[in-house]
Structure 1
Amino acid sequence: MSQEKLLQGRCIVEGQVEGEALVTNDAISFMGTIDPKTGYVIERKHEIEGACLKGKILVFPMSKGSTGGSYMLYDLVKNGVGPLGIVNREAESIVVIGAIVSGLPMVDRIDISQIQTGDYIYLNATEGTARVVPKAMRA
């Protein structure tokens, strides 16, 4: 059986949250990838097309797209359909600005290959850690 993992990264936006992971290896543009009214991934052929961000810890490598994505991330959170927190391999300014204005705990420099959709994450962004409980251990 898989073991619980403590992954050390870097604090981007302080805070602590916990929830189920939604993981993709595809970059995300909050402008065009996610519907800001529903929180569903609408980009065709995106690895997590059809998934909803609401109440999840969103795990993805990096962002893509224009600066409008920062405002779209804020809209997701304001509309109550956004993620609880963000874990990145590499933080980029678009998502960082969106996380700051939205008050979303965020870390980067995390080996996201160690996390799978459905794992439970205790995200302590203030300390830069993600404690991951594998889905198999939760069953």
Structure 2
Amino acid sequence: MSARALVHGTAEGPVFRLDDPLSFWGGFDSASGTVIDRFHPQNGACLSGAILLMERGRGSSSGASVLAEAIRLGTAPAAIILLENDAIIATGALVAQMLYGIDCPVVAIGECAEWQNLSSLPRLVVEAGTETVRITPQQ
């Protein structure tokens, strides 16, 4: 699988796949780690500590600050795996890493057949380094 680390770090946790893109600004509660967009099919789902799989984010540059705050509070996903590069999501994770010293790796894997395989696994380990990215099932 060809993957690109947008934000470096290591994380592990249960897999949670979002069916639709999510805007962290207005669609995610940083205090509880839950999806609060009432129109999102997974409204009410808790993303805290999960390896979050989502195709892409859904706008608003303010979403970066919401994600950074959730990382600071310990309510954010443990890592985020995207199909597409997303500068807003990467910025939120990078700000949290720089300000608070807390990692939330963000990885873009591009369109690939592995997407379905990853979402069918119960738990993953994400190791996003400067030169390599490894996404493996957690034993």
TM-score (norm 2): 0.83
For this pair of structures, how many residues does the alignment match?
128
Query: For 2:52, what is the secondary structure of its paired residue?
Result: strand
Q: For 1:131 and 1:16, how far apart are their aligned partners in 2? A: 11
Higher relative contact order (CA 8 A, sep 6+): 1
What does residue 108 of structure 1 align with? Answer: 108
Q: Is residue 2:90 matched to residue 1:96?
A: yes
Aligned partners of 1:12 and 1:105 also within 8 Å:
yes
Q: For 1:118 and 1:72, how far apart are their aligned partners in 2? A: 28
Structure 1: give runs of 5+ residues left out of the alignment: 1-6
Query: For 1:17, what is the secondary structure of its paired residue?
Result: strand
Question: What is the identity percentage for the equivalent residue pairs of Structure 1 and Structure 2?
Answer: 29
Q: CA deviation at 1:47?
A: 2.7
Aligned partners of 1:23 and 1:115 also within 8 Å:
no
Structure 2: give runs of 5+ residues left out of the alignment: 98-103
Q: Deviations over 1:54-85 (max 9, x none)?
A: 11111101011211000000111112211111
Aligned partners of 2:71 and 2:93 also within 8 Å:
no
Aligned partners of 1:107 and 1:129 also within 8 Å:
no
Aligned CA-pair RMSD: 1.8
**Hey, which of these two has a bigger chunk of helix by percent?**
2
TM-score (norm 1): 0.83
4+ long deviations beyond 4 Å: none
Q: CA deviation at 1:42?
A: 0.8
What does residue 128 of structure 1 align with? Answer: 133
Aligned partners of 1:58 and 1:86 also within 8 Å:
yes
